Structures are given as C-alpha cells and as structure tokens.
Amino acid sequence: MTGHIIEVEGASARQRLDLFLMEFAASTGLGLSRTAIQHCIVSGRVSVDGRTVHKASFKVSAGSKIVFEPEAAKTDPALVGEDIPLDVVYEDEDIAVINKPAGLVVHPAPGNAAHTMVHAMLNRFGTLSDINPHRPGIVHRLDKETSGLIVIARNNAAHHALAKQFADHSIKRKYVALVKGRVEYDENVIELSIGRHPTRREHMAVHSGVNARYAKTRYRTIKRTDTVSLLELEPYTGRTHQLRVHLSYIGHPIMGDAKYGRQAAFPRMALHAKYLGFMHPSSGKFIEFETGTPKEFSDAVRSKESS
C-alpha cells in the first residue's frame, strides 16, 4: 500500500483511528469527511505498523506508523476556472506559491460555491492535484480574511510530498498580526492544547479535554502601543485556528477577528502569512518565500503612536 505515511505523536495516543485521520485530512487539505475516511478504513486502505486495520474505532498508539491511501478521484467536473487575478510569487511544474489577498476564500464550501482561489487556479494553471476532487491543488489553507503566502500542488506526487511535510511540522511558517492591547513580553512561547469548543461546535478553544491536541506558538513583539501591538508569529504545530485561539486566550485577540476577538475593530482580520519555507517535492532543496507586512497593519500602529 502506498499513500500518506503518518507517525502518531504522543498527544494523539488512544485516539480513534477515524478521528485521527480526520484531523490529518483537515490539516493537510484533503478535506475528507468522516464517512469517506471510515469507508477507506473498512475497505482496507489504512494500515497501522504494517497491519491492515478495518475498524474505525481502533485506538492509535504513540510512535505507530499509519499508511493511509484515500481512494483515487478526479477533479469535480462541476468546478470550472474563473478569471480571478492571482498574485503568483513562484511556479514550476510541481508547485505554485500564491500571495492570497484578504477576502478571497481558498476553496469551495457551503455558502462559497464559486469565486474561490481554486476557481482562479483552475483558470491560471489548468491541471492541479486531484487527491481531493472538491479542493484540487489545496494542501493547506488560510482563512478567508487572512492574507499571505500559500503553496499549492500541481500534481499528486507534489501533493503527497507537501502533505507529509505539513504532517511532520517541518514546513516553516511565519505570520504577522496586529493584536489588541499592549503585549507585555518582547518574546514568548504559548503552549496550550486546542480542541473543538464543547458547546460552540464551529469554534476551537483552549482546553484539556480528550480530543484536545498539543499546540505551540512562538511570538515576537515588533512594535507596541498602549492599545495595539504588532507581532511576528511562528506556529510549531498546525491546529485549526491555532494563532487566533492562542492570542485570544492570552488576552490579545487579533484585530478584526469577529469569531475570537469580541469584535475588535479593524477593516479585516489583521493576520498575514508573511513567510513560507519547505523542501521542494522534486529537487529536495529547501526553498523559502517572504512578503512584507501589510501597509494597513503598519499604518494602524503609527496612528496609535501619534494619537
């Protein structure tokens, strides 16, 4: 069996196999439903330490190696390219790196069936990886209001190689964020587990429940005023909404984040993916890309300094 090779971290020990694979699929852009993953398990497309496992309720163990082979699929024929401008920072036969603007949804989803980055990519590149037929090319994602660098896969081999790097947390990412309040420390690390909110199912939250997973974020304060701070953020793990949840929990929500920021006023969510570094899936060479801090972030800090 070939496919995704995943090593189970200690924090995921004793988790159900289907839930473990759901989290992997979400973090690597596969976007598979729980039903689809359970079908893969039952049909023998998942092995643990070399043994095929057919039970979705199987409990994974720390250090185990899981091989997961989703069923082959072709790009959803309903998806057609749209002439939407893209800021392509880099492209070759395997990958492309795009500087996504705030406000552009990455892939189709309920409520956003068209006018997404996927539609723009199909128009720009033609063929993309089709491991997830509803999200061709998508290996990871940025929230709609988050701007910045995102890497896409133009074929399935590149998709698998990039997905493994994301699963291993070997891809280097840095963000810049404008947050509410005066951050006390010049530099600090936040290590707080994150899981689904116990009552608000569309939210994530810091807690220590059975499905919470270890999460680590490093931040460095670039500038601060009495009311806002500009931070550089480096996530060591890739939990859903990790940066937003961690910053909100320590009392410095991202400006413009209505979901976790209690309506902190700003025209958009003030989060930008400024740096991306990874091993090229074909050459094996480490490549990196960087963009500047959005002007509206810097302008906001200057206006607070002069007021």
- Residues annotated as catalytic (active site), given as ranges: 143
Q: Which H or E element spans position 21?
A: helix 17-27
Contact 139, 28 (CB under 8 A): yes
Q: Give the tokens for residue 87.
A: 């800021």
Q: Which of 41, 4, 255 is nearest to 146 (CA)?
A: 255
> φ, ψ for residue 210 (rounded to 5)?
-65, -30
Contact 196, 236 (CB under 8 A): no
> φ, ψ for residue 32 (rounded to 5)?
-80, 145
Cβ contacts of 134 within 8 Å, gap of 6 or more:
31, 76, 79, 107, 108
Side chain identity at 253, as an amino acid letter?
P
Q: Give the tokens for residue 197.
A: 């909110």
The residue count for the chain: 307
d(CA 81, CA 217): 36
Q: Are strands 147-153 and 271-279 parallel, antiparallel or unpaired?
A: parallel
User: What would you measure as the largest C-alpha separation in the chain, in angstroms?
Assistant: 65
